[in-house]
A and B are shown apart, each in its own frame.
Chain A
Amino acid sequence: MRITTQMTYQHAIDRMQASASQMEKYRRQATSGKKIENPSDDPHVAVRSIQLRSAVATHQAYVDSGKVSQERLGVNDSALADLVSTLNRSIQVALQGRGDTLGASERQGLADEINGLLEHAVGIGNTTFRGAYIFSGFAINTEPYSFNGAAVTSHVASTAGPINNLIEPGHSLQVNVDGNAVVRPTLDALLGLRDALNADDGTAIGSSLAQLQSALEGVNAARTTNGARTRELTTTLDRMDKISLSLKSLLSSTEDVDMAEAIMNLQHAETVNQAVLQTAAKSVSQSLFDFLR
């Protein structure tokens, strides 16, 4: 092939451009840490990393809100535990009060203690979590129970809810305990016991005792259910955490550049570029005109 002057220069320029753009590509990879800058650099990787990033974000959101649900279930559990110990103490008092040996004034004393326990139980029924009443179902802003010394009043007609939290995609979990089904019988039984003690009525004390025991069963059942939910949530959260971690490492291996490789490539490209420049400097400076007198 006939080699012309323009060809020599053009070729040198083309080679310089090519090696410079190769160098730039690796420089960008090394500085950004990403394999691709625009989706078109590798459409397959781009779509994959978009989907992975989306999955990572979604999982993270579930992990975050799962922690709130976990706290809520924990608050439920401690409230119920408190209710159990209140009931246990009341049952002791009832057993003590049922005895025929006690006189009216002694029963009066026990009634005072039960009154205190009742006030405490009403307080438990009005437990809040982040400013929301946990036993009032959807009506989280309404105090569910009040006690005026003579009677317990429910302010929320239905406390069933259910309040469901999404704990993973497509999987929701009930996180509330129905106050009217669990707390209210306790309050009623305590009120009945107090009044029976005040009335010095042994038979009524006996039936109150039965009420207390059935209320305790209800609370324990609710606590068991709540515990089972906590376990379910913890297992799910653990799994989500693991999935989240493996998604992150998958995302990283999809879109992050292997630093050592990128730097090696960059250095190689720099060497090539230097060789191109040196060759160009030599080849384009040759001319026959230099040798003619």
Chain B
Amino acid sequence: MSAFFGIHIASSALRAHQQALDVINNNVANANTPGYRRQQVLYQNGVAFPTPSLNGGWGAGQFGGGVQVMAIKRFGTDFLDARYRTELAQSGKYDVQRNILNQVESLLNEAGDEGLVGKIDSFFNGWQALSADPANTALRGDLRGRAEDLVAAFNSRAQHLRATRGEQDLALQQRVDEVNDMATQMARLNGEIATVVGRDQQPNDLLDQRDRLADRLAELTGATISNQPDGTVMASINGHALLVGTSAFKLQTVVDPANDNLLAVQWQTPTPMAYNGTTGEIAGIIDARDRIVKGQLDGLNTLAQTLITQVNTQHNAGYRLDSAVLGGNFFEPAVDPSGQNALSIQLNANIIADVGNIAAASNPNAPGDGNNAVLMANLQRALTMSGGTATFSNAYAAQVGSLALETRNAETRFGDRQAVAAALDQQREAVGGVSLDEEAANLMQTQKAYEAAARVLNAVDEMLDRLINNTGLVGR
């Protein structure tokens, strides 16, 4: 056994603890990095030194050969990741929905005094007031003003709802781009990770990076990730592969003429097919846009169309002020071929030109006759909507109620899923997060071991010094 063996042991200890110190340093440095998983060196005793001998008996053996770092362990959380991502996909879906619906809700502004129900009531109440004093020009003007308010309320609501649907194009496009970009990055990381794993090293930081992408991917699309033996991951959205090995299968957006020329999401390859995700932000946007907001818009259009038809019919049954001319249409257009009545509804030009053209009378040349106005006011309570079961106001109030319920559902589900996701993330963090106190303790421990190794080296050095410089000087 060499006299320098001690130096070898001490230096292995210095080197191992130096490495450990660097790993701790890296942990501390990444204490605030999202998705960073703490790392730790795994020490292993060095190769033992057997005492050479022909037949043994030379003495004790074997001598430990110092320490070495076997691996740098990463505190991964694969077992929690899948569950966390499922919850994240749901909370992502309801998060975008609640944002869109909150916006719609404040645009529709039905909780205040300026709601559409109030405008409809005000319109019919205008007829009611006119019926008691049908020749009163001021009341006629007031009725026209109320009708203009109603028309404007329809128009602005329809515009807001359409704009809200249109704005989702940008949101979808951004997310599809993000998904494609992340799939590409993950494919590249798959390649690098497989190489590093092949060299029997630990691609810890690459894994962190890929996990971060996988989290966001799940939030966007609800993609499920499965680990492969070679270190790569596979990602699929509701059964359709998104990422296999180093190849990514991308999404694209196309204009859908069947849906108001809004963007539809598709798989690019092998042949374009409809996007099939049911959770995640993209599915949430599509659901909110094509089911909930569209439902509101359709309901508004139906309301406008029914109102136009009913009011026009009644108006054309009456006579203008002190005239034998029938009322004609009150609202225009009587029928909108595109079905966007709420957007296109306007007052008839005759009404705009002269309030005398409002037909309040049921008899010709009868300025004092307000019977047609009475019949018109009665429409307020007529069961004209929902297949003859609801009044205009009630039908719209029910529609507002259903939007409120959808919004509330989205809020509640987001809250629930978010809470579960947060709890799971906390568990992940408990396993893999950095605790500065713990690192401080480890730092102390490592530092002390390093100092001790240095001290041992000192002792060996002194021994050698004694041997080399101060031995065999007898008689000098």
By a beta-carbon cutoff of 8 Å, the part of chain A in contact with chain B is: 1-7, 10, 14, 34, 36-41, 43-44, 46-47, 49-51, 53-54, 57-58, 61-62, 64-65, 68-69, 72, 130-132, 136-141, 161, 163-166, 169-170, 172, 175-176, 287-289, 292
Instruction: Determine whether the beta carbon of B400 is less than 8 Å from that of A47.
Output: yes
CA distance A280 to B431 in the complex (A): 23
Q: Separation in Å of the B149 CB from the closest CB of chain A?
A: 13
A136 neighbours in B (Cβ, 8 Å): 368
Instruction: Determine whether the beta carbon of B118 is less than 8 Å from that of A2.
Output: no
Q: A68-B132, A141-B135, A172-B374 are in contact. Are A39 and B403 (CB under 8 A)?
A: yes
Instruction: Determine whether the beta carbon of A36 is less than 8 Å from that of B111.
Output: yes
20 contacts between A and B (CB under 8 A): A5-B433, A5-B435, A38-B105, A39-B110, A39-B404, A40-B408, A46-B111, A54-B397, A57-B122, A61-B128, A64-B129, A138-B361, A138-B363, A138-B368, A140-B135, A161-B368, A164-B370, A166-B128, A166-B374, A288-B441
Instruction: Determine whether the beta carbon of B444 is less than 8 Å from that of A292.
Output: yes
Q: How large is the interface on B (under 10, 10 to 19, 20 to 34, 35 or more residues)?
A: 35 or more
Residue B29 CB within 8 A of the other chain? no
CA distance A54 to B131 in the complex (A): 20
By a beta-carbon cutoff of 8 Å, the part of chain B in contact with chain A is: 31-32, 101-102, 105-106, 110-111, 113, 115, 117-118, 121-122, 124-125, 128-129, 131-133, 135-136, 322, 361, 363, 365-371, 374, 377-378, 380-381, 393-394, 397-398, 400-401, 403-405, 407-408, 411, 422, 426-427, 429-431, 433-437, 440-441, 444
CA distance A72 to B136 in the complex (A): 14
CA distance A165 to B132 in the complex (A): 5
Instruction: Determine whether the beta carbon of B368 is less than 8 Å from that of A287.
Output: no
CA distance A4 to B427 in the complex (A): 11
Instruction: Determine whether the beta carbon of B435 is less than 8 Å from that of A137.
Output: no
Instruction: Determine whether the beta carbon of B102 is less than 8 Å from that of A51.
Output: no
A14 neighbours in B (Cβ, 8 Å): 422
| Cross-chain contact of A43 among B106, B408, B437 (Cβ < 8 A) | B408
Instruction: Determine whether the beta carbon of A139 is less than 8 Å from that of B366.
Output: yes
A62 neighbours in B (Cβ, 8 Å): 128
Please name the residue on chain B nearest to A138 by beta carbon.
B366
- Looking at B131, B133, B366, B403, the one whose CB has the most chain A CB atoms below 10 A away is B133
Instruction: Determine whether the beta carbon of A2 is less than 8 Å from that of B132.
Output: no
Nearest 3 pairs of A and B residues by beta carbon = A138-B366, A4-B433, A140-B368
Q: A3-B435, A5-B433, A38-B102 are in contact. Are A51 and B135 (CB under 8 A)?
A: no
CA distance A182 to B132 in the complex (A): 22
| Cross-chain contact of B436 among A5, A41, A58 (Cβ < 8 A) | A5
Instruction: Determine whether the beta carbon of A38 is less than 8 Å from that of B111.
Output: yes
Instruction: Determine whether the beta carbon of A58 is less than 8 Å from that of B121.
Output: yes
Instruction: Determine whether the beta carbon of B430 is less than 8 Å from that of A3.
Output: yes
Instruction: Determine whether the beta carbon of A39 is less than 8 Å from that of B132.
Output: no
Q: A136-B368, A169-B381 are in contact. Are A4 and B129 (CB under 8 A)?
A: no
CA distance A141 to B393 in the complex (A): 36
- Looking at A58, A64, A161, the one whose CB has the most chain B CB atoms below 10 A away is A58
CA distance A64 to B126 in the complex (A): 11
Instruction: Determine whether the beta carbon of A50 is less than 8 Å from that of B397.
Output: yes
Q: A-B contact count, CB below 8 Å?
A: 181
CA distance A40 to B394 in the complex (A): 18
| Cross-chain contact of B365 among A131, A139, A287 (Cβ < 8 A) | A139
B433 neighbours in A (Cβ, 8 Å): 2, 4-7
CA distance A2 to B32 in the complex (A): 17
A57 neighbours in B (Cβ, 8 Å): 118, 121-122, 125
| Cross-chain contact of B131 among A6, A64, A165 (Cβ < 8 A) | A165
Instruction: Determine whether the beta carbon of B370 is less than 8 Å from that of A163.
Output: yes
CA distance A132 to B369 in the complex (A): 11
A139 neighbours in B (Cβ, 8 Å): 365-368
A131 neighbours in B (Cβ, 8 Å): 135
B394 neighbours in A (Cβ, 8 Å): 51
Instruction: Determine whether the beta carbon of B429 is less than 8 Å from that of A6.
Output: yes
| Cross-chain contact of B400 among A2, A46, A58 (Cβ < 8 A) | A46
Q: A53-B118, A166-B128 are in contact. Are A58 and B380 (CB under 8 A)?
A: yes
Q: Separation in Å of the B144 CB from the closest CB of chain A?
A: 16
B361 neighbours in A (Cβ, 8 Å): 138
Q: Separation in Å of the A2 CB from the closest CB of chain B?
A: 5
Instruction: Determine whether the beta carbon of A38 is less than 8 Å from that of B368.
Output: no
Give 6 new A-B contacts, CB below 8 A, not counting A50-B117, A138-B363.
A1-B427, A14-B422, A46-B111, A50-B400, A58-B121, A140-B367
A40 neighbours in B (Cβ, 8 Å): 101-102, 105, 403-405, 407-408, 411
CA distance A36 to B118 in the complex (A): 18
| Cross-chain contact of B31 among A5, A10, A137, A175 (Cβ < 8 A) | A5
B398 neighbours in A (Cβ, 8 Å): 47
Q: Separation in Å of the B88 CB from the closest CB of chain A?
A: 16
A169 neighbours in B (Cβ, 8 Å): 378, 380-381
A58 neighbours in B (Cβ, 8 Å): 121, 124-125, 380
Please name the residue on chain B nearest to A38 by beta carbon.
B105
| Cross-chain contact of A4 among B366, B408, B429, B440 (Cβ < 8 A) | B429
CA distance A136 to B117 in the complex (A): 38
A50 neighbours in B (Cβ, 8 Å): 110, 115, 117, 393, 397, 400
Please name the residue on chain A nearest to B109 by beta carbon.
A38
Instruction: Determine whether the beta carbon of B111 is less than 8 Å from that of A37.
Output: yes
- Looking at B393, B394, B434, the one whose CB has the most chain A CB atoms below 10 A away is B393
Q: Separation in Å of the B216 CB from the closest CB of chain A?
A: 18
Please name the residue on chain A nearest to B364 by beta carbon.
A138
CA distance A23 to B439 in the complex (A): 37
Instruction: Determine whether the beta carbon of B429 is less than 8 Å from that of A7.
Output: yes
CA distance A41 to B400 in the complex (A): 12
Instruction: Determine whether the beta carbon of B369 is less than 8 Å from that of A138.
Output: yes
Q: Separation in Å of the B120 CB from the closest CB of chain A?
A: 8
CA distance A1 to B431 in the complex (A): 9
Please name the residue on chain B nearest to A286 by beta carbon.
B437
